[in-house]
């Protein structure tokens, strides 16, 4: 599965030291996501921006998007980053990754496969890449940076129990 994470996903994964969740996938970003996560983050002195800069340079594919298409879609999505994620995901047949419910709903209405950031952990558990203990630990890390909620954690842990 190829992934197109939005800015919040990248920031949450960097802050929680969980960027490895993207490593078994071809992952794509464009300039707007890069500017939001790295350039603006570095300007504000956020340590995760430096981590993301290195990770993007070494492990994430960068792609140019069709600017005309961007202009046509930006009003629907509102935020430039979500518009960009949609364009990449739909043109490359990738899965959009977001923690933003509104963006998730808009992507789904446009028939783009979308997954919540925290569900990447459950996918890794299902694929036996992480254990139940690691799932709990990684969800806890994501929770500490507001990348998921207590109720989402409980839902995911319940699903993991059903799998076993």
What is the total count of domains within the chain?
Answer: 2
One domain, residues 86 and 151: no
On whether the CB atoms of residues 135 and 120 are closer than 8 A, the answer is: no
Q: Would you place residue 23 in the very low, low, confident or very high pLDDT band (cuts 50, 70, 90)?
A: confident
Q: Which of 152, 107, 144, 132 is nearest to 13 (CA)?
A: 144
Q: pTM of the entire structure?
A: 0.94
Confidence of residue 24 (pLDDT cuts 50, 70, 90): confident
Indicate whether 65 and 135 sit together in one domain.
no
| Cα–Cα distance for residue pair 109/118, rounded to 1 Å | 21
Q: Is 89 in the same domain as 13? A: yes
């Amino acid at each position: 599965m190829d992934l197109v994470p939005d800015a919040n996903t990248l920031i949450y994964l960097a802050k929680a030291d969980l960027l490895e969740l993207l490593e078994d996938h071809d992952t794509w970003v464009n300039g707007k996501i890069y500017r939001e996560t790295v350039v603006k983050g570095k300007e504000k002195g956020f340590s995760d921006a430096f981590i993301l800069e290195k990770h993007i340079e070494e492990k994430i594919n960068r792609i140019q998007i069709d600017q005309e298409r961007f202009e046509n879609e930006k009003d629907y999505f509102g935020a430039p980053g979500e518009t960009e994620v949609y364009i990449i995901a739909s043109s490359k047949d990738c899965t959009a990754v977001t923690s933003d419910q509104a963006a998730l709903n808009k992507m789904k209405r446009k028939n783009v496969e979308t997954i919540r950031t925290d569900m990447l952990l459950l996918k890794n558990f299902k694929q036996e890449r992480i254990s139940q203990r690691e799932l709990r630990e990684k969800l806890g890390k994501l929770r500490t940076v507001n990348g998921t909620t207590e109720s989402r954690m409980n839902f995911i842990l319940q699903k993991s129990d059903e799998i076993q």
